[in-house]
Amino acid sequence: MTEEQKKKLEQKLWDIANELRGRMDADEFRDYILGFIFYKYLSERLHIYVDRELLKSEGLTFTSLDDADAVHRGILAAVEEACIERLGYFLKPCELFSAVAARGTEPGSFILADLGETLNSIQKSTMGNESEEDFVNLFEDLDLNSSKLGRSTEARNTLIAKVLGHLDAIDFQLGTSNSDILGDAYEYLIGKFASGAGKKAGEFYTPQQVSTVLAKIVTSGKARLRSVYDPTCGSGSLLLRVAREVGEKNVADFFGQELNRTTYNLARMNMILHGVHYSKFDIQQEDTLEHPQHMGRTFEAIVANPPFSAKWSANKIFESDDRFAEYGRLAPGSKADFAFVQHMLHHLDEDGTMAVVLPHGVLFRGGAEGAIREFLIRRNWLDAVIGLPANIFYGTGIPTCILVLKKCKETEDVLLVDASTCFEKGKNQNSLGEDDVARIVDAYRTRAEEDRFSHRATLSEITENEFNLNIPRYVDTFEAELPVDLEEVTRRIERINVNMQEIDESLRAFCAELGLEAPV
């Protein structure tokens, strides 16, 4: 698919999504369109698998199987068992997306009940199987009886049938090898919804260019990863971006945790839709700091974009928690930024790398945060600090930074990069360009010092600055003004004065011809 075709597809999907808008907020009609696309994906993936790998040698097709035929029932039972084992779920031929969409085009047809039963059937097919946890309640946000879809049952049915029909007409080319058209389209839609979701956007999406920087940093020098973890995983896009850097098949396992229930469902859908097998990911729904779900595990790569300066309990009970105990201080209850850092470091492998996006305040705030920052520096865990441009995140314009940490560093210094000017100006939001991403990542990987951009700060330098990591203290961004040639300025003024005299004389002559009084 060409870039032009891809853009046309993305625009078509966005147009279909907007048919659902009605009286809904962006995050509401987002859940419907992404849920329907996910259902289409599950349906087509199963259909292709059954036809190509299970029934081809039998000279049969999945849609030709008739549940009323005794022989076919036996075949369907075997097919279901194989699908559950391989894909984790099962759909009957009559439950396929194309079948339901086709029924919706028939005059007088009512499909809402069928659709609801089919979505429930997908979940029921996983019960008692290894994939159950990854599919449970995946479609709970698709309320087909919501009045926001239409005032009457008929209106809701008409709208849903129309949307399914539009989606059914799109070929996502799932049968094409090495094609991730649907995955790319899904990411596009998530990004579009984020751009219109205001402050809520930060709950589920990290701008793609920032995700790329984080992913390239934690995969530097690695062709394979044992595991990748995101403790505030949102839609799962950061985890998938890491996989894209080394290849999904080269990441053994994905782990994540997300507080928001709807976003948690979106993350699981996103993983499955991108071809991550249900046995390879473990996404949990809970408060990461208060109720961590992956204690006892460590990970080779960790990435995160936690909610900036979020509140947390900072309960004294956490002073004896393994994640925080050795620091002697807890992050303040009003700002959980360093609590997330401590949590992530606790889960980091000895040979692992973590990269986390945080507000600039973590670089210089005092009190408990200052003590934690000093501890990290003295233990030589802090590898790099990258200052990002302002206004590149959805829902906030505050300046941010990336902290990179390792438990086994090869150097004794801290790399500081001032990338605050590395952006492309947008109408409402700035963004990192491809060259900006490449420059930032190259600076991290080479650790080369560059005037007004990067500097390797020693422990003694940082100590002199009282462990304040405000980047301008280390990277001189001052640009001296060009020297002024006073003699040339004087000559220019003299030439201007001569010209003004000539103009005044011409003006007086014109006024005399017209019989007017010349201006003084």
Q: Which residue has the higher pLDDT, 518 or 493?
A: 493
∠ at Cα 124 (120, 128), nearest 5°? 160
The tens digit of pLDDT for each residue in 447-505 reads 999 999 999 999 999 999 999 999 999 998 765 566 777 888 888 888 888 888 888 88
The secondary structure of residue 111, as a DSSP letter, is -
The tens digit of pLDDT for each residue in 503-513 reads 888 888 888 87
Cα(107)–Cα(105) distance, integer angstroms: 6
Choice among 133-137, 192-196, 262-266, 281-285 with the minimum mean pLDDT: 192-196
Q: In angstroms, what CA-CA distances link 167 with 46, 172, 209, 305?
A: 17, 10, 28, 32
Could you identify the residue written with the tokens 């289409």?
40
Alpha-helical (H) ranges within 426-485 are 434-446, 459-464
Averaged pLDDT of the chain: 90
* Residue 106, pLDDT score: 92
Alpha-helical (H) ranges within 50-111 are 70-86, 97-104
Q: State the burial class of residue 64 (Cβ atoms within 10 Å of its Cβ: 0-12, 13-18, 19+).
A: exposed
Q: What is the mean pLDDT of residues 54-81?
A: 92
Cα(396)–Cα(416) distance, integer angstroms: 23
Q: All domains of the chain, ordered by start, with CATH?
A: 3-195 (1.20.1260.30), 198-473 (3.40.50.150), 484-520 (no CATH)
User: CB atoms < 10 A from the CB of 374, how many?
Assistant: 17
Q: In angstroms, what CA-CA distances link 19 with 149, 246, 418?
A: 10, 37, 43
* Residue 379, pLDDT score: 96
The tens digit of pLDDT for each residue in 40-58 reads 999 999 999 999 999 988 8
Residues 218, 242 contacting (CB under 8 angstroms): yes
Which of 143-152, 241-250, 380-389, 422-431 holds the top average pLDDT? 380-389
Residue 204's pLDDT band (boundaries 50, 70, 90)?
low
Question: What letter represents residue 251's amino acid?
Answer: V
Residue 359's pLDDT band (boundaries 50, 70, 90)?
very high
Alpha-helical (H) ranges within 169-230 are 181-195, 208-218
Nearby residues of 72 by Cβ (< 8 Å), 6 or more positions away: 65, 66
Per the document, the length of the chain is: 520
Of 230, 226, 225, 229, residue with least CA distance to 245: 225
The tens digit of pLDDT for each residue in 92-118 reads 999 999 999 999 999 889 999 999 999
Return the bridge partners of 292, or none.
Answer: none
* Residue 173, pLDDT score: 82
* CB contact burial 13-22 (16+ within 10 A = b; e otherwise): beebbeebee
* Residue 196, pLDDT score: 64
Across the beta sheet with 400-406, what order do the strands follow?
A: 281-285, 251-258, 225-230, 299-304, 348-359, 400-406, 382-387, 414-418, 454-457
* Residue 395, pLDDT score: 67
